[in-house]
Amino acid sequence: MIHSFARFDSEALFRSQVVPRSKLVHGRQPITADTALRIGLYFRMEPRYWMNVQAEYDMRVASHDDSA
């Protein structure tokens, strides 16, 4: 999921239709390997970065759920 803290132009990504907006906004769908590859190619970044962003988010959600 892409959140406002991400430091890239998400609007440009969505306008390019590399990744449909509905897939990532508001936490509806996680960043999959396929999505990470697409975003990585678009921004010329390692896809693993995007997988790590998703993993970090998942860990924070799990930690929050455990503390409730």
Q: What is the pLDDT of residue 59?
A: 93
Give, for all 68 residues of the chain, the pLDDT tens digit: 444 444 566 667 667 766 766 666 666 788 899 889 988 888 888 999 999 999 998 999 899 887 65
Q: What is the pLDDT of residue 66?
A: 73
State the Cα–Cα distance between residues 42 and 37, nearest whole angstrom: 9
Structure confidence at residue 46 (pLDDT): 95
- Tell me which H or E stretch contains 57: helix 47-67
Instruction: Give the pTM.
Output: 0.66
Can you list the domains of the chain with their CATH numbers?
10-67 (1.10.260.40)
